[in-house]
Amino acid sequence: MLKLIFKIFLFLWLSAVIIGAFLYAPLAKGLGEYTRVLYFHVPMAWITVVAFLMSAIFSIFYLWQKNLIFDHYAVVSNQFGILFSLLATITGSIWAKVSWGAFWNWDPRETSIFILLLIYLAYFALRSAIELPDRRAALSAVYSLLAFVTVPFLIFIIPRVYSSLHPDPLINTEAKIQMDGRMLLVFMGALAGFSAFYLWMFTINKNIVQLRSQFEEKEF
């Protein structure tokens, strides 16, 4: 019953966010209708970091307890990390079109997310090259931890070290988007809603992994 209530609440919440983004929140100066992208681009980038962080945590658990279930959880987290980083890249390129004149400009922000995608795609290439489950899990866990070390640098540090056209409240005050109360309300609602959506999707996949693991144990 609680799961059903959560699903209904999440559906209504995300519906309210979408409606608010298009009908309630005002447009930012200079961006016009492209302001709507803000309420989807930033949450996608946020969830990307959360998903990769969760993968690193599960990798630590695997190296600590040597339980393959944590390796499976890490894989699921990395899959979602790549998915949401792609969504962040797509929504960001739409924003770049109106702000910078082209969908792709090799801006530090765009370049860093591209490198991050390559790093985590290599994670799955590594897994596909190793047949033994325990060895695959161990090497993948180490790689996942090393890969996450790059996340703060590629997402938060490098784009701020080099000159960027990307709006940044810390260093790029000219490009900073000024939010009024309605924009901030929808923005925070989007962050909370999409975070809950990620948690829901991860829980579903986590349950699938657990069922598959139990089934495999019964077979053997």
Tell me: the pLDDT tens digits for 138-189?
A: 999 999 999 999 998 887 776 666 555 555 543 444 455 677 888 889 999 9
Question: pTM of the prediction?
Answer: 0.87
pLDDT by 10-residue block (mean), the chain, 220 residues: 85 93 84 83 93 96 93 94 93 80 79 91 94 93 94 76 54 57 91 94 88 68
Q: Is residue 46 part of a domain?
A: no
- The answer to whether residue 77 sits within a structural domain is yes
Number of domains the chain is built from: 1
Burial class (CB in 10 A: 0-12, 13-18, 19+), 149: exposed
Instruction: Identify whether 217 is part of a domain.
Output: no
Average pLDDT, the chain: 85
Range of the domain at 83: 54-177
The reported pLDDT for the residue numbered 103 is 82
The answer to the question of residue 34 being in a domain is no
d(CA 211, CA 214): 5
Residue 118 domain-assigned (yes or no): yes
Task: Check if the beta carbon of residue 144 is closer than 8 Å to that of residue 74.
Answer: yes
Count of CB atoms within 10 A of residue 119's CB?
17
Residue 156 lies in a domain: yes
